[in-house]
Amino acid sequence: MSSLPEPIHVALYEPEIPGNAGAVARTCGAAGAPLHLIGRLGFSFTHPKAKRALMDYWQHTEYLHHATYADFLAHVGPRRVWMMTTKAAVPLWEARFEPGDVLLFGPESRGLPEELLATAAGHTLRIPMRAETRSLNLSTAVGIGLYEALRQVGPPWLG
């Protein structure tokens, strides 16, 4: 009997907007990606906007809340953490993802802190967009990043 490959993981560092986090959780549930929530959350998943975005996908979403970034790193262990930021030089599609990799996204209003980005030499990625645009919606960015990683490694639920 063969075991399924390890899934791609998604991590949100201090997410702020309940609707975005709910939509991300829904995408993770549909894709079979564990969701890690790190640090202080700007909402509760009992918030009506988070509940509405998540709909009935909650039972399909594996999620963990880590009090600190250090706790998150201890939990994910040797997995590679790819930090998604508009400040990265390397476009998303130049990364070579592996099963078990983690895609880390920052809070909507400010992105990942500089001190975290400084620890990620060679593991920061950006989603290319036109120069006159500032950023994408968090849930849209997660969908783009997660499904590019799944395109490369294959969804674990396809066997």
* Residue that has been written with the tokens 């969701």 in this structure: 35
62 found inside a domain: yes
H or E, element range at 57: none
3 found inside a domain: no
Identify the CATH number of the domain in which residue 108 sits.
Answer: 3.40.1280.10
Task: Read off the pLDDT of residues 123-156 as tens digits, 9 standing for 90 and up.
Answer: 999 999 998 988 899 999 999 999 999 999 988 7
70 found inside a domain: yes
H or E, element range at 148: helix 138-153
Candidates 2, 12, 4; CA nearest to 107 is 12
102 found inside a domain: yes
Longest dimension (CA), the chain: 52
Q: How confident is residue 96, by pLDDT bands cut at 50, 70 and 90?
A: very high
88/125 Cα distance (integer angstroms): 5
Query: What is the domain count for the chain?
Result: 1
21 found inside a domain: yes
Tokens of 78: 């040797």
149 found inside a domain: yes
- Residue 130 is part of which domain span? 9-158
Q: Say whether pLDDT at 2 is over 60.
A: no
Q: What local confidence, expressed as pLDDT, does residue 103 receive?
A: 98
Q: What local confidence, expressed as pLDDT, does residue 1 receive?
A: 45
More confident residue, 63 or 12: 12
Query: Which DSSP category does 47 fall into?
Result: S
46/17 Cα distance (integer angstroms): 13
Task: Read off the pLDDT of residues 51-93 as tens digits, 9 standing for 90 and up.
Answer: 676 666 667 788 899 999 999 999 999 999 999 999 999 999 9
4 found inside a domain: no
2 found inside a domain: no
